[in-house]
Amino acid sequence: MGARVRAIDTDAHHQLRGIADLKPYLSRHDWQRLEEFGMPRNSNLYQASGGFRGARADCFGAGDDVDPRSRIALFQEKLLDGCGVDFAILQGEYTPAVLALADLDFSAALCRATNDWTLAEWVGRDPRFRLALTVPIQDPVLAVREIERLGDHPAVVAVYAVCGSPRLYGQRHYDPVFAACVKHGLALALHFSNEGIGMNPAPTAGGHPSYYAEQYLVRPQFYQAHLSSFLFEGTFEKFPQLRVAFLESGFGWVPAFRWRADATWRSLRAQTPWVKRPPSEYMREHIRFATQPFEDPEPAGALTAVLDGMDAEQTLMFSSDFPHWDFDPPDAIVRRLPESLRQRVLVETALETYPKLPR
Amino acid sequence: MGARVRAIDTDAHHQLRGIADLKPYLSRHDWQRLEEFGMPRNSNLYQASGGFRGARADCFGAGDDVDPRSRIALFQEKLLDGCGVDFAILQGEYTPAVLALADLDFSAALCRATNDWTLAEWVGRDPRFRLALTVPIQDPVLAVREIERLGDHPAVVAVYAVCGSPRLYGQRHYDPVFAACVKHGLALALHFSNEGIGMNPAPTAGGHPSYYAEQYLVRPQFYQAHLSSFLFEGTFEKFPQLRVAFLESGFGWVPAFRWRADATWRSLRAQTPWVKRPPSEYMREHIRFATQPFEDPEPAGALTAVLDGMDAEQTLMFSSDFPHWDFDPPDAIVRRLPESLRQRVLVETALETYPKLPR
């Protein structure tokens, strides 16, 4: 299985050259609105460090004024050809803010245009790209409509969700979205970056962090909140085929979270009797963690305990986060992993998580 | 040092018999308001399991209709005498909601009354009780006024803060409170339980969890957000004598958080140049973790790695959470710890954290 595939990148970020890229895919009404008011923006809080707009410094030629994430040739040269990545799943750079809009019809229009543009201009120009479908997940009716429209496209392998959300994703409000994911063989791909903007609550129980480093440090908690919700709402009892990819969540926290989750379940399971098994079992079967940014536990040897404590053989899969400043190429990951995990992490676990990837 | 002290309990929770307990300590105006509108309540979301109002089932006699947490004799019998606890630091059961009030003057009045009542009716009746001062921390002027009023009382050993907060505690808004803590030799005692109520933001970036088990599971993130803020705002550079006690935060998460914090600092320290040392060093010197609920990592042996990875010899101290359902007596903790840590955890680290405790 996947013997000829060298690496699957579960998290790369493409970008518009400008809003005009979307014009062919929008109604006249929605285009006028976008042109007049501009694209909603991800919070400045989340602007990355280490280079122009958070991308790798080596992505820019002298005098460039185009966002390098909009250049397909850059992805081909530096990621696909340069790193030996055979498939790269795209999660759009600007879309988190689109999913934080309170105007769900406008959000849906921008999602549709994003998907159509990506399929035409990225997947259509290089068959190594795959797409996590952007859907207005806060309105499950519209979200399901978009999944029905494009979920059977061969390049669509997942539905994209972002951690900032008025409601936690385990809540039954979202069940129709997950039913549609399962129906079309799509994973759910969860990524941070719209927490505390638009209609979303503050990033933490204590409000908004001041600095990017703080947001970077507490990022795992955005995922943990939704994970806790999936576990105790019984999402995986309802959708036993659903797989959720945690992208850029880190994974050093997973063993301690599992201990606490199992202990909590043992103490309080009487209140949620529909949760039939220890949370760690649902996590092992349903939650997948992407490698980037790869965490280096201390002291040496601690990485082994983390990999064991998260069942990494089943749950860890490669991501590059190309072209962000904290990008990890496959070589950098492979060096840190025991031989027995390398093919699992680079290829096989992704194939199991995204059943529509070719094998 | 502390040779004759058997155990110091850093987290016990006392309660009013009823609001009339506060009447002698309130102005006529504030008493009328309290009588007419009632005491603000901690969220139902946080109601504990396992017994009436979350307290141990063995605290109740047949037909009792008084909250057992209001009975000083119960604390004396079951905690102080029964468990060999020589000092117990009280954090009031009902006060988190008081600190979530948007009306900061009324909050301040209830804080003052709480402190006066505790000193008279608890500390005044048993000298083994100590008090974490309840202050309206969201208004630093009023908070400092209360610290100046009572901070030199010999039984006052800390200032109490709760994780739900419109602003993260590292932000300079709170600096006067920490300056007053240091001036009076008081630790800051941080406890969860008013997240998402009153003027406080939602408990998570995805809103409100549905179930108590979820809140229990994600509780560490309330503390992590404030910890991240302390670290990157430079709180401990400004207040090198400040110690912060994390009460009921759990501690299994600490090693992985430290790895991530140090890695984040190495990548992004240029943006926060006032943070001079790796975050793990500030944590070792300034953050203390209370034992309850004691986490049992899996597999066997993992506890040793956690204790090493958090520098438990310097950072871990005993708490019982009496009289809650998930109460831990000192014996239960001692059994799980290596011999070398027992006296540190039961007595010595608390003496270092709360300099006003007698030695």
What are the pLDDT digits (tens) for B13-40?
999 999 999 999 999 999 999 999 888 8
Taking the CA of residue B238 and the nearest CA in chain A, the distance in Å comes to 17
- How far is CA A63 from its chain centroid? 31
Of A205, A253, A267, the CB nearest to B256: A253
Domain membership flag for residue A359: no
Count, residues in chain A: 359
Instruction: Look at residue B1 and tell me whether its pLDDT is greater than 80.
Output: no
A222-260: burial string, b at 16+ Cβ within 10 Å, e else: bbbbbbbbbbbbbbbeebeebbbbbbbbbbbbbbbbbbb
**What is the pLDDT, as a whole number, of residue B186?**
98
Domain membership flag for residue B358: no
Gyration radius of chain B's alpha carbons: 19
**What is the pLDDT, as a whole number, of residue B51?**
40
**What is the pLDDT, as a whole number, of residue B44?**
53
Domain membership flag for residue B2: no
Residue A323's pLDDT band, with cuts at 50, 70 and 90, is confident
Residue A287's pLDDT band, with cuts at 50, 70 and 90, is very high
Taking the CA of residue B301 and the nearest CA in chain A, the distance in Å comes to 11
The answer to whether the CB atoms of A231 and B217 lie below 8 A apart is: yes
The answer to whether the CB atoms of B265 and A226 lie below 8 A apart is: no
**Domain with A313 in it:** 8-353
Domain membership flag for residue B64: yes
Instruction: Look at residue B216 and tell me whether its pLDDT is greater than 60.
Output: yes
- Asked whether the beta carbons of B189 and B135 are under 8 A apart, the reply is no
- Asked whether the beta carbons of A303 and A297 are under 8 A apart, the reply is yes
| Number of domains, chain B | 1
Residue A237 one-letter amino acid: E
The answer to whether the CB atoms of A260 and B295 lie below 8 A apart is: yes
The answer to whether the CB atoms of B195 and A205 lie below 8 A apart is: yes
Nearest chain A residue (CA) to B310: A298
CA-nearest of B215, B220, B190, B216 to B202 is: B215
Place of tokens 């505390």: A196
Domain membership flag for residue B248: yes
CATH number at residue B111: 3.20.20.140
Determine the average pLDDT of the residues in B210-237.
96
Mean pLDDT of chain B: 92
Domain membership flag for residue B227: yes
Residue A181's pLDDT band, with cuts at 50, 70 and 90, is very high
Domain membership flag for residue A1: no
**What is the pLDDT, as a whole number, of residue B3?**
54
Instruction: Look at residue B105 and tell me whether its pLDDT is greater than 90.
Output: yes
The ipTM value here is 0.89
CA-nearest of B254, B232, B200 to A45 is: B232
Which residues in A lie closer than 8 A to residue B49 (C-beta atoms)? Answer: 267-268, 270-271
Taking the CA of residue A125 and the nearest CA in chain B, the distance in Å comes to 35
Domain membership flag for residue B21: yes
Determine the average pLDDT of the residues in A98-102.
94
pLDDT tens for residues B133-180? 999 999 999 999 999 999 999 999 999 999 999 999 999 999 999 999
The answer to whether the CB atoms of B206 and A229 lie below 8 A apart is: yes
Helix (H) or strand (E) holding B8: strand B8-12
**What is the pLDDT, as a whole number, of residue A65?**
64
